Structure 1
Amino acid sequence: MQDARYTPNPLRPYYKPASIGVADISSNATTGASKPTSGATFSFPDLDYSDYISDAAPSLNLSIKSIIDQTVWKYTSVVFAQPFEVAKLILQARVAQESDGDRPKRQSRNVEQEEEAVSAYDYDNSSDDEPNYFSSSAPYERPLSSGSPDRGRRGRPPRSEPSPLHRDRQQASDGYLSLKNPHSLMDVLSTLSSNSGALAMWRATNSTFVYNILIRTLETFFRSFLAAVLGISESEVLLPLSSGSIPDTSILSSPSPISTVLIATAAAAMSALVLAPIDAARTRLILTPSSQEPRTLLGTLRTLPTSYLIPSHLIPITFLTSTLPTLLSASTPVVLKTYLGLDPAMNPASWSVATFASSTLDLAIKFPLETVLRRAQIATWTAPNQLLPTSSSKRKAVTTIVPVPQSYRGILPMIWTIINDEGYSESEKDKAAALLGKAPRRKRKGQGVQGLYKGWRVGFWGLVGVWGTSFIGGIQSGSEAASNAGVHGGKF
C-alpha cells in the first residue's frame, strides 16, 4: 500500500510534498518481510548538514594525537619559562646580607690578599732554603735561623684555616651561590650555571609541569562542583576567566557574573590548598643543592612533617596568594563594563589600557604575597622544630644554595622583617652625594619596600608582551569593524 502523501494528485500534478516529517514505517513495510515496529521515525532525507556536523566521530588515534600534542605544547612552554621561574624564586627566598653592596670590593680585596700571601711565600722560600751548589763541597746544612715557614708534606707550608677566597671556592663547589648582584635575574642564572652546570637552570621542571596540569584540572572540577551545589549552570562558571596576564571578556556573557567571580575565586583557593604540598616540594627542589636527597617529587613529599598534607603555617598565606589575584583579575571586566561604561568592542584602546593597569595592580599585590609564600615554604624544612614544637622526633634542617629564613612567625612579621631588618637600603640622593664626594655613604637598615618585589621583571615583561599583542589585535579589529560599518553605511 502506497503512502497517500507520495501519490500524485490529479488536481495538483506538479506539487511535490516535503520529505521532512514523521514517516509511518509500518505502512511502508511489506507483509512477512519486516520486523514489528512500535512507532514512527523522524527523517531528514533531503537536509544536508555535512558542513555543520561531521558524519564520522573522531577516531581513537586522532583523540590520542590531540592529547599528546597539547601535552607536548604545555611541557615545552614550561621548559622555556622554567629558568626565569627558578631565578625569581631564588631571589624571593634569599635573605639579604649586610655585605651585599660591598661584595665586589671584598672579593677583589680577598684576591689581593691571596696573591700577596703567595708572593711572600715564594720570596721566603727562594731566599735561603735552596743550597748553593757552586761554593764548596761541604754538605748542606739548613740554617737554624731561617725565617721561612715550617714545611709540611711535599715541601708546602701547612695552612691552619682556609683563606676567604678558598672558602668561597669550596662553597661554590658545593652548589652555594655567591651573587655579585642580588637583584639581577641574569646574575642568578649565570652563577647557577657556572656552579652547578647548565641543567641546574631547569630544576624542578617536571614538578612545575605536574603542578600546572593539576591546578587547572582541579579548578575546573571545583567550579563544576560548586555550580552544582549552588544550582548554577556549568556553562556560566566554566568560562575562561583569564588569558595569560590580561583579564578575559568572556565573563561579560554570563547571566550572573558576580556568582561566576565568587565561584572562580573559591575554586582557586581550594585547588591551591590541595596542591600546596606539591608547590612546597617544588620550592625545596629548587633551593637545595643537587647533593641534597631526595631529588624526586614523591620523595620530597614524604619529607613533609604532615605527610602529604599542607602544613598549618602555609594555610593563611596560600589562601591569600590564590584568592586575591584571582578575585581582582576575574572582577576587572565586570567593574569596567558596569561602573566605567567601557566596552571591549566599542572602546578597544581604552579597554586595553584599563586592563593593563588592572594587571599591573594584580602583580603589585601578588609579588609580596609570593615572596612571603616562598619563604614560608622553605622554612618548613629549614626550621621544622620551630614550626612543629610538639613533634616527638627532631628533624634535621636541610642545606640550601642561598641564605634563607631559619624561622617563620607569620605574614606580617615576615613583611616587617624584609622591609626593616634584612640587609640595607640606600636612597638615590645618598648614592649621588656619595659619588660626588659631598657626603659619606649612608646605609639604612632593611631593604625597604623594594625587597618585596625581587624578580618582578619576570612578571612585568611577560605582562607587557601579552598586553602588547592584545592591544594591537584590539586596535586592528576595531578599525576593521569601523571600516566595514562605513562601507555598509555608504551602500545603503
Structure 2
Amino acid sequence: MDYSDIISDNSPAATDILKRLAQQALWKYSSVFLAQPLEVSKTVLQVHVASSKPPRRKEKEDRYAPDERRKQAAYRQDSYDTEGAWGIYKGTNSTYVHSILLSTITSFVRSFFSAFFALPDPGLSFTSSSAAAGIAGIVLAPLDIARTKLILTPSTHPPRSIIATIKTLPTWTLPISLAPTAILHSTLPTFISASTPLFLRAKLGIDPFVTPNLYAIATFCSQAVELGIKLPVETVLRRGQMGIAQQGVPKGRALDTVVEVGPYRGLFGTMRSIVYEEGERGGQAAGDLSKGAKGAAGMKVGRPGSQKRKGQGVEGLYRGWRVGMWGLIGVWGAATLGGVGGKGGEF
C-alpha cells in the first residue's frame, strides 16, 4: 500500500545520523575531558590516608628486595614525584567509556523492566531506574576499578590502556567484599535523582514548563543532597577498589600510587576508621599559640596538644566536597543556560 499521501518521509539520512552521533560523542568526550581534573582531585582526596606524619620514602623502599629497590629508584628518577599538567587528566578515556556504557546499560535495563513488568511511567520510574543503575554498576565494576587504578597510579606506571589494566585485576566480576558499597553507590544517587521530578510535580506543584526557574533551583538543591549522600559511600568505594587493585600485584610487591591509600574495612568499618581512628582533628595545638592569642581567638587555654583528637570526624567522610560542588555548579549552570532546567549530574 502507498502511504506517501498521508505520511511524509522526513526520516534523516544515514550520513545525518552518523554526523549527529559523531557530534554527540565529541561533545561528551569534551565534557569528560574538562571535568576530569575535578574527578582526579576528588579521588585523590578521598583515598588519601590522613596521617599526622607524612610517609617516608625509605620505609616504602624497604618492602622491596635490593634489585627491586634499584628499579624503583630508577623509576622515580625517570618519572618521578611530579607528573606535570597531564597528571590531572589521567583516566580520561576510561571515564569516558565508563560514562557511555553506564548510561547505555542503565537505559536498556530500565526500558526492559518497564516493558516486561508493565511498569507505569513515570509513576514507578525511580524504582526501575534504581534497579537498572544497580545492575549497570555490577556489570561495570571491573571497568570502574580499572579507572580508579589509572587515576591513582603514576602516569608512567604500566599498563595504561583500559583492557590491559582490567587484565591486571584479580577478578573480572564485582568482589563480594565490595558488593554492598558498590551497589549502594549506584542505586542511592539514582533513586534520588529519578524520584525528584515526581516529588516536585506531584507534591509541590513545581513543573519545568510552568515554573522553570523554581524547578531549576529545586533540582540543584536535590543534586546537592544527592552529592552529600553519595560522597561518604564513594570515599569508601574508592578505597575498596584500590584494595582490589592491590590484590592483582605480585606477592611481595606494593602497588605504586601517587598518594598513600587508606585501608578498606568494609562499608561501616572504613567509615568508623576515618571518623575515629585515622589521623588527627582539631585546631592548632595549644602549644602553637600564646595564651593571649588563644584568648583573643576565643580558644580554651589548656595543656599543649589538648585541642587535638584522634580521627578525622565526620568531615573526613566528605573529602572533596568542594570539588564536587564546583563540578555540580558548573554542570547545572551550563544546563540551565542551555534551557534544560539544570538537569544533569555532578560532572
Q: Give the TM interval when normalised to the shorter protein.
A: 0.7 to 0.9
Q: 1:404 aligns with which of 261, 281, 286?
A: 261
Report the alpha carbon displacement of residue 463 of structure 1 after superposing the two structures with TM. 2.5
Q: How many aligned residue pairs are there?
A: 314
Q: 1:80 aligns with which of 34, 37, 42?
A: 34
Q: Distance in 2 between matches of 1:473 and 1:41?
A: 41
Match of 2:145 in 1: 280
Which residue type is aligned with residue 50 of structure 2? A
- Structure scoring higher RCO (CA < 8 A, sep ≥ 6) equals 2
Pair 68,273 (structure 1): closer, same or farther in 2 beyond 3 Å: same
Q: Secondary structure at the match of 2:123?
A: helix
Q: Deviations over 1:296-315 (max 9, x none)?
A: 21111112112x22222221
Report the alpha carbon displacement of residue 322 of structure 1 after superposing the two structures with TM. 0.8
Match of 1:63 in 2: 17
Which residue type is aligned with residue 206 of structure 1? N
Q: 2:275 aligns with which of 419, 443, 447?
A: 419
Q: Deviations over 1:210-249 (max 9, x none)?
A: 11111111111111221222134xxxxxxxxxxxxxxxxx
Q: Distance in 2 between matches of 1:434 and 1:382?
A: 48
Report the alpha carbon displacement of residue 324 of structure 1 after superposing the two structures with TM. 0.6
Pair 469,437 (structure 1): closer, same or farther in 2 beyond 3 Å: same
Asked if 2 retains the 8 angstrom alpha-carbon contact of 1:175 and 1:401, the reply is no
Q: Distance in 2 between matches of 1:356 and 1:336?
A: 12
| Equivalences for residues 20-419 of structure 1 within 5 A | 44=5, 53-54=9-10, 57-99=11-53, 173=77, 195-232=82-119, 256-306=121-171, 308-382=172-246, 394=251, 396-405=253-262, 407-419=263-275
Report the alpha carbon displacement of residue 443 of structure 1 after superposing the two structures with TM. 1.5
Asked if 2 retains the 8 angstrom alpha-carbon contact of 1:418 and 1:447, the reply is yes
Q: Distance in 1 between matches of 2:289 and 2:219?
A: 37
Which residue type is aligned with residue 240 of structure 2? A
Bigger radius of gyration among the two: 1
Q: Distance in 2 between matches of 1:330 and 1:62?
A: 32
Q: Secondary structure at the match of 1:257?
A: coil
Name stretches of at least 5 consecutive residues in structure 1 with no aligned partner.
1-39, 104-168, 178-194, 233-254, 386-392, 477-492
User: TM-score, normalised to structure 2's length?
Assistant: 0.79
Match of 2:63 in 1: none
Asked if 1 retains the 8 angstrom alpha-carbon contact of 2:285 and 2:308, the reply is no
Q: Deviations over 1:308-367 (max 9, x none)?
A: 222222211110001111101111122222233434444445434433322221111011
Does residue 453 in structure 1 map to residue 318 in structure 2? yes
Name stretches of at least 5 consecutive residues in structure 2 with no aligned partner.
56-72, 296-300, 342-347
Report the alpha carbon displacement of residue 450 of structure 1 after superposing the two structures with TM. 1.3
Pair 466,289 (structure 1): closer, same or farther in 2 beyond 3 Å: closer
Report the alpha carbon displacement of residue 283 of structure 1 after superposing the two structures with TM. 0.7
Q: Distance in 1 between matches of 2:27 and 2:269?
A: 41
Asked if 2 retains the 8 angstrom alpha-carbon contact of 1:421 and 1:445, the reply is yes
